[in-house]
Structure 1
Amino acid sequence: MQELFARDFGVIADLVRYHAEHSPDRAALVDPSQTLSYARLDALMDQVAASLQRDGLKAGDAIAICATMTVPYAAVFLGALRAGVVVAPLAPGSTPASLARMQEDASARLLFVDASTVEATGSAGQGGPRRIRLDADLDDWLMPEGSKPVPVTPEPSWPFNIIYSSGTTGDPKGIVQGHGMRWAHVRRGATYQYGGPDGVTLLSTPLYSNTTLVVFFPTIAWGGTVVLMPKFDAGAYLRLAEQHRVTHTMLVPVQYQRLMAHPSFDQHDLSAFKFKFSTSAPFGAALKADVLKRWPGGLVEFYGMTEGGGTCILEAHLNSTKLHTVGRPAEGHDIRLIDEQGREVAAGEAGEVVGHSPSMMTGYHRQPEKTREAEWFDPSGKRFIRTGDVGRFDAEGFLTLFDRKKDMIISGGFNIYPSDLEAVLRQHDSVADAAVVGVPSVQWGETPVAFVVRRPGTVIDTDGLLQWVNAQVGKTQRLAALEWIDELPRSAIGKVLKRELRDRYAVRGGA
């Protein structure tokens, strides 16, 4: 089987067929209500691909999925790939207006939903793509069992999926990832011992997140079992991990925090674990140390962006003195630091992190200007992706991050853009000006707090404005608190000094 992954490029959908032929009865997908073998998954992928082709979708066309993470969700995603169809997985917690914009931006021909997202995605007579309920209409929509699609052979440059990492209240920004990028993730799976008859990956982060997909696809490609947990709960997670003899998982730091703090953590048998992964948010050194001490198996932190570019990897179990870092550049990844003028900094100096790798996004969907803003080219013309993060390499090549140049807030592993929330606040008649900052949160890692300048002559209380704003935004974006301020602190050139706002909040006892 190793020879399948020695190639420079391969097709994930073809590997599902390989496993269906060699291990037909092995469980591929498991959720709380059903288990799908590789043989059944392969056949269902054929049905999905054939049904999409029947409906006129060609390679390069797109579908959107907005639903709870289940076996049918995963099967439709994989089946679309077999037809060369691009998948845009959308966050159910987004606002209806944002979901409509993302569907339009992706040019989605079909939208797959379930009971949890029917209302948010609008009703069937309101325009937009045709909707198919994964929990009600899927069997009727599918071609008969045994149906075969017209074969499609993707190329590395073809779009694989579109991930929307922003735009939950503003303009959506779709990150186009190619088949070649996903294959690079799959090939990396050899290092971490995915798959085989005993390989079981437990996922409790959503399938619309690249955090999840970088582990989901390697597990399937290497013939492992994916256990899908639609809603994270620390106690339930520990029971599932023990029940299924889980070997791999991907969690964001706040989930590790809740698991390690759970009163029954040390009572569960987690000895089957080979590797645990983390990404998406700052992972404190003390928490890493606690995981290493009490949870069997290796601990690996990935630092990178959904856009791709360079990735740093910290194999924490092998580098106990480097837990304050995010590791060293992955093999084949070129990570550099640049200054404000776009010049590389000298060794030992801090700078903005930029990266080049085999797994970079094609670009932002239909937004060439945004794509150009995210790119940096070295003097030879080599293309890098800018992260907006500031860091410094130590003498051994480990990267320590200091701050984010961008004001993005990472709450529970989800990206929140303060500018989105500020734009919503400014729509209210009582708001003259506003700034949103991230403050520390025991529950979420970070959480957004707003500072608001009242418009003269208007009257609204704090709770009233807070409720109004939180009704306009997605669930993951909701403000934790709101404070009135006479004037926002600004620099000489008019930039809001957000560090002063964070300090003010901490001094007032909000942190």
Structure 2
Amino acid sequence: MTPQSTIDTILEDDFHPLPYLIRLHAQAAPDRPALVQDGSSLTYAELDALMDRIAASLQRDGLRPRDAIAICAGTSIPYAAVFLGGLRAGVAVAPLAPSSSAESLVTMAKDADARLLFLDRTVAEQLAPVRASITAPTVALDGSDAGKAFDAWLAPEGSKPQPVDIAPDWPFNIIYSSGTTGAPKGIVQPHSMRWTHVQRGRINGYDSSAVTLISTPLYSNTTLVCFFPTVTLGGTVVLMAKFDAGTYLKLAQQYRVTHTMLVPVQYQRIMAREDFGQYDLSSFRWKFCTSAPFSAALKADILKRWPGGLVEYYGMTEGGGTCILSAHEHPDKLHTVGQPAPGHDIRLIDDEGKEVGPGELGEVVGHSPAMMAGYHNQPQKTAEAEWYDPSGKRFIRTGDVGRFDADGFLTLMDRKKDMIISGGFNVYPSDLEAVLQQHPDVVEAAVVGVPSTRWGETPIAFAVVRPGAALDDKTLLSWANERLGKTQRLAAVQITDVLPRSAIGKVLKRELRDSFGRTLD
């Protein structure tokens, strides 16, 4: 049996470890590029050999299967190789966000029980004030003095690790929540969950001819759900260390990119470029989006001007259920996040944990083959995130409020925690944001609730306007309130240069609330 026929056969099985598939691709097509960045590349044969050296190095350092390592660095080929080499050793990988505070990084590395920390100079400088709290040995992926140089740490060329028989329920990675609503929680995703993502990738056209352009960070699950299907199904990943709309378009044209995952704010910046139409994007098969609200107007613009299918995923890093909107197939449903994926059970529940009736609002909960094992070292938080139906079936709570239409498409209202209760009425910020964004000079808007002596809570808005627009706070406030219902009216509007966002584009509403800093009458 040839390596390719073996690949085709095992992809029909219930489970195989992802590093095994990379080895088969190295045998089937050793010279095919696997990872590309800034003119450098690794073929599948080179990647497979480097993964072996990394796995052997981890074993030499005493790491055993189900131990953990942490990676905190900018996107690079060595970063991706360490992630994959760790998996080959049966080690769980905790990719940490460099944008986190130094104290949070220390907390996350300790929570993950990381035996080694891979980092770069930028992260090392950030950690300098708390360096004494980092007990794990450090390895510098960029060859700097941030730790032992990566090349010096690596086992000699040709080194092979001891084989590891990886089980489906072993931890694959520990993805930490952003921590924007409190202490970050470590989401433990098992190998079986990632295998499910690869199986879904086959449906979405990932194969040996796929070229995926990645511009979101490797610590984000948003990135990993397209990174792993690409490299384990034999395609090529083109990495960007930092997103820039112009550079993105140049790379997409240069490498004849077929797949990409972008967050809404990235799509917005790309589509806003005056030279967008000058690039040849005809190679695109699929474009994906997730992680933040994706406006119907932006989806429509992408469908009109950017070749290839457009798919929006709605789900959580914790898993539990995904909705999929194939926007190119359902142009009349662009205001929704689609229908539950095949084999995914999505339901809506009220505050008492009972399922709501057809057409009613409720918190979104989901069950699927791809679900987290739990939050690392936090059984109470895990229990709070779970909901069980009367039969005992386990669901993950999303914290989002939504409604199904008659065709089974889910429309999201807001995060449950972001809903504003003003004078006893439920006010959904997304409704107000949609009205504000109808103003021709408003680029984007965010609405939050702030304390009010009269109403308990009251909505206020922050808006970014087009450069040169002659629009002030009071004018926009008046314009919006003329179009809003009586119980929705805004108490204030602040025009701002930019909305604070996480590294994957989510608006940080807690920062907006804190910046307002006062109680209204």
The TM-score normalised by the length of structure 1 is 0.82
Aligned partner of 2:232 among 197, 208, 221 = 221
Distance 1:258 1:380 in 2: 46
SS at match of 2:98: coil
Question: What's 1:178 paired with?
Answer: 190
1:51 equivalent in alignment to 2:51: no
Query: In the alignment, which of 7, 15, 18 is matched to residue 12 of structure 1?
Result: 18
Distance 1:227 1:474, change over 3 A: closer
Deviation at residue 62 of structure 1 after TM alignment? 0.5
CA 1:178/1:193 → structure 2, altered by over 3 Å: closer, same or farther?
same
Distance 1:296 1:150, change over 3 A: same
Aligned to 1:235: 246
- 1:295 equivalent in structure 2: 306
Q: CA–CA distance in 1 between the matches of 2:261 and 2:88? A: 25
Instruction: Name the SS for the 2:348 alignment partner.
Output: strand
In the alignment, what sits opposite 1:482?
515
- Structure 2 matches for 1:299-318, cutoff 5 A? 299-318=310-329
Structure 2 counterpart of 1:109:
115
* Correspondence list, 1:90-105, <5 A: 90-105=96-111
Q: Is the partner of 1:161 in helix, strand or coil?
A: strand
Q: How does 1:82-231 map to 2 (within 5 A)?
A: 82-122=88-128, 126-136=133-143, 137-167=149-179, 170-196=182-208, 198-231=209-242
2:410 pairs with 388, 393, 399, which one?
A: 399
Judged with a 3 Å threshold, the aligned counterparts in structure 2 of structure 1 residues 121 and 141 are, in CA distance, closer, same or farther, namely same
CA distance 1:442–1:106, change in 2 (3 Å): farther
Which one-letter code corresponds to 2:362 in the other structure?
G
Secondary structure (helix, strand or coil) at the match of 1:65 reads strand
- SS at structure 2 position matched to 1:286: helix
Matched to 2:330, the amino acid is: N
Q: Which 5+ residue runs of structure 2 have no aligned equivalent?
A: 1-6, 144-148, 420-428, 431-445, 451-456, 467-499
Amino acid at match of 1:191: I
> Are 2:291 and 2:504, in contact at CA under 8 Å, matched by a contact in 1?
no
- Conserved? CA contact 1:69–1:230, under 8 Å: yes
**Counterpart Cα distance in 2 of 1:91 and 1:291:** 29
Partner of 2:8: 2
Distance in 2 (alpha carbons) for counterparts of 1:102 and 1:438 = 33
Question: Does the Cα contact within 8 Å between 1:13 and 1:78 map onto a contact in 2?
Answer: yes
Question: In structure 2, do the counterparts of structure 1 residues 186 and 439 end up closer, same or farther at CA, with 3 Å as the change threshold?
Answer: farther
**Distance in structure 1 (CA, Å) of the matches to 2:461 and 2:69:** 34
CA distance in 1, matches of 2:204, 2:517: 50
Cα distance in 1 for residues equivalent to 2:298 and 2:283: 21
RMSD, aligned CA: 2.8
Q: What amino acid is aligned across from residue 87 of structure 1 in structure 2?
A: V
Q: Is the alpha carbon distance of 1:440 and 1:83 closer, same or farther for their aligned partners in structure 2, counting shifts above 3 Å?
A: farther
> Match for residue 28 of structure 1?
34
Aligned partners of 2:313, 2:63: CA distance in 1, in Å? 35
Alignment of 1:446-485 (within 5 A): 479=511, 482-485=515-518
| Shift in Å, 1:407 | 3.1
CA positional deviation for 1:483:
3.2
Name the TM-score, length of structure 2 as normaliser: 0.80
Match in the other structure for 1:506:
none
Taking the aligned partners of 1:20 and 1:161, their CA distance within structure 2 comes to 23
Please tell me whether residue 254 in structure 1 is matched to residue 260 in structure 2: no
Letter in 1 for 2:137: R
Q: Give the AA of the match of 1:392.
A: R
Structure 1 position 116, deviation (Å): 1.8
Cα deviation, residue 195, structure 1? 2.2
**Paired residue secondary structure (1:30):** strand
How many residues align? The count is 442
Deviations 1:476-500 (A, max 9, x none): 9694683342x367xxxxxxxxxxx
CA distance in 2, matches of 1:276, 1:121: 36
CA distance in structure 2 between the partners assigned to 1:89 and 1:436 by the alignment: 36
Per mean C-alpha deviation after superposition, the further-off stretch among 238-247 and 25-34 is 25-34
C-alpha contact 2:52 2:160 (8 A) present in aligned 1: yes
Q: Does structure 2 conserve the Cα–Cα contact (< 8 Å) formed by 1:94 and 1:168?
A: no
Instruction: Classify the secondary structure of the residue corresponding to 2:125.
Output: coil
Within 1, Cα distance between the matches of 2:173 and 2:461?
Answer: 30
| Closer, same or farther: CA 205–107 of 1 in aligned 2, 3 Å | same
Q: Deviations over 1:357-388 (max 9, x none)?
A: 01010001100100000000000000000011
Contiguous gaps of at least 5 residues in structure 1: 411-415, 423-433, 444-469, 490-511
Note the C-alpha offset of 1:32. 1.3
Q: Residue 464 of structure 1 corresponds to which residue in structure 2?
A: none
Q: Quick one: which amino acid aligns to residue 244 of structure 1?
A: Y
Distance change (3 Å), C-alpha of 1:348 and 1:75: same
Shift of residue 243 of structure 1?
0.3
Which residue of structure 2 lines up, in the alignment, with residue 448 of structure 1?
Answer: none
C-alpha offsets along residues 279-336 of structure 1, whole Å, 9 cap, x if unaligned? Answer: 0001000100000010000000000011100100001111111111100000110000
Q: 1:317 to 1:73 in 2, by over 3 A?
A: same
Cα 1:405/1:73, change in 2 over 3 Å? same
Structure 2 Cα separation of the partners of residues 220 and 163 of structure 1: 20
